[in-house]
Amino acid sequence: MEKIEWVHQAAGERFGGLELNVLVGFVLVTDDRKSMIESMAPAFGIDADEVNHVPIALVGTIDEMQEELQWRRENYGFSYISFESSSWETLGVLVGRLAGT
């Protein structure tokens, strides 16, 4: 969030017209999101509650991922989300939902 604030301050009034992009490099579809997030927390050096919102990772069921990406759009302002090519097929349904198709 701090880095987004830096961009906001630098852009000033132009901030609303910017497109914020994030690359999600780690995607794991799982029914046991809680355990995965708890095991990832030490690697990020943050507590498990914060891991869920780390922009470079996306963990959980497709429904949970959809909720998280919508949260990130609303709270971080990400309007453009990229995924590593290894995740494209897995996330096709999710991308379709977010695009409204």
pLDDT digits (tens, 9 = 90+) for 48-90: 888 889 999 999 999 999 999 999 999 999 988 888 887 878 8
The span from the CA of 92 to the CA of 34, in Å, is 23
The angle that helices 88-99 and 62-76 make with each other, rounded to 10 degrees, is 60
The predicted pLDDT at position 31 comes to 96
**Residue-by-residue DSSP string for 48-74:** HHHHTT-TTEEEE-HHHHHHHHHHHHH
Does residue 8 sit within a domain?
no
SS3 at position 78: strand
- The count of domains in the chain is 1
What's the whole-number average pLDDT of the chain? 89
| Domain assignment of residue 94, given as a range | 20-99
pLDDT-based confidence at 101, cuts 50/70/90? Answer: low
Does residue 57 sit within a domain?
yes
Summarize the confidence of residues 25-49 as an average pLDDT: 91
What's the whole-model pTM score?
A: 0.83
